[in-house]
Amino acid sequence: MTSDLDRTPVTVVGLGPMGLALAAALLERGHPLTVWNRTPEKADELVGKGARRAATVAEAASASPLTIMCLKDYDTMYAVFDAAGDALRGRVLVNLNSGTPNEARAAVDWADERGVAYLDGAIMVQPPLVGHPGSVFLYSGSQDVFDRHRATLASLGDPRYLGADPGLAVLYNTALLDLMYAATNGFLHASALVASAGVPAATFAGLALDWFLPTVVQASLAEQAPALDAGHYPGDLGTLEMNRNALEHITLTSREQGVHDDQPRLMQGIAERAIAEGHGDRNYLAVFEVFKKANAARA
């Protein structure tokens, strides 16, 4: 729980579903709260619970030493806060929208020009989980800003500081979403394969999600992750050439069963590129060397 000493006044700018969740969590933990949104009525429920609705973003930013924003993107942030004039000067802005690492770094320059202490962040949970102690929020940039406001940020969840590079939070966020979509698409495609034989996805999930992913895939990746950093891919237990055959069989089986085959063909193509680059006698993790390079068509 947040102590009385940690109940820093906070302003929240942007009251979409996530912004509303952030504001509600801060209010529930006793922070004096000011809110602003371009559509003022979105704040009605928060105001009914004790929040103050600011008429302008300048008024909102002036009300608290710390402003947390959750807007669409960096361009929206600039448009909103440029209209606030000097209201943020000498105050702290924590940005929890999404974007790219270069956008985050440019935002630091924008903030410095305006005398604003700035911290970039990323939210790794859905709105209903905001405020739970185990819900991870990522932050990067000024460690001083993070340390000074860590107790307040902990009202939202588990704050993780990644480093001084302000682009790290959005980079981690993008990488984790990349993992999420790849894993989800893998499960969906695999479910489509067994569904072609009349097997329900719920039946397949018992084997795929309860046993195969955590016991075979996750455990193996956790054990072998240091090998990625070392570039060490011994093929004594299975080579990339062998894995290329397995990937080809997935593609052929997909076609046989009338299932969309773009995804396995893409994976097969990546393995074939790694083999062409001389990694055929190494294990499958050697495709990491392909992923680390720019696409040849765009290089």
Residue 179 lies in a domain: no
Residue 176 lies in a domain: no
- Of 150, 170, 190, the residue that ends a domain is 170
Residues of the chain predicted below pLDDT 70: 1-6, 296-299
Residue 157 lies in a domain: yes
162 and 205, same domain (yes or no)? no
* pLDDT tens-digit series, residues 243-268: 999 999 999 999 999 999 999 999 99
49 and 163, same domain (yes or no)? yes
The rounded distance, in Å, linking the Cα atoms of 178 and 171 is: 10
User: Greatest CA separation found in the chain?
Assistant: 67
> What sign results for the dihedral spanned by CA atoms 171, 175, 177, 178?
positive
17 and 143, same domain (yes or no)? yes
160 and 205, same domain (yes or no)? no
Which is nearest to 275 in space by CA: 218, 233, 237? 233
What letter represents residue 58's amino acid?
A
Determine whether 194 is exposed, middle or buried from the number of CB atoms within 10 Å of its CB (0-12, 13-18, 19+): middle
20 and 114, same domain (yes or no)? yes
Residue 140: per-residue pLDDT: 98
Helix axis angle, 101-113 relative to 168-195, nearest 10°?
A: 150
Residue 99 lies in a domain: yes
Which is nearest to 81 in space by CA: 128, 136, 118? 118
140 and 209, same domain (yes or no)? no
22 and 166, same domain (yes or no)? yes
129 and 59, same domain (yes or no)? yes
pTM: 0.92
Residue 137 lies in a domain: yes
Residue 80: per-residue pLDDT: 95
* pLDDT tens-digit series, residues 196-210: 999 999 999 999 999
Q: According to DSSP H, which parts of the chain are helical?
A: 17-28, 44-48, 57-62, 74-82, 101-113, 143-153, 168-195, 201-207, 219-230, 240-256, 262-274, 288-291
Per the structure, the complete domain to which residue 211 belongs is given by: 199-291
141 and 240, same domain (yes or no)? no
Determine whether 109 is exposed, middle or buried from the number of CB atoms within 10 Å of its CB (0-12, 13-18, 19+): exposed
The rounded distance, in Å, linking the Cα atoms of 241 and 180 is: 27
Residue 241 lies in a domain: yes
Residue 251 lies in a domain: yes
Residue 298: per-residue pLDDT: 54
Backbone phi, psi, residue 157, to 5°: 160, -150
156 and 234, same domain (yes or no)? no
Which is nearest to 110 in space by CA: 76, 66, 137, 143? 76
**Residue 237: CATH number of its domain:** 1.10.1040.10
161 and 205, same domain (yes or no)? no
Domain total in the chain: 2
**Residue 17: CATH number of its domain:** 3.40.50.720
153 and 264, same domain (yes or no)? no
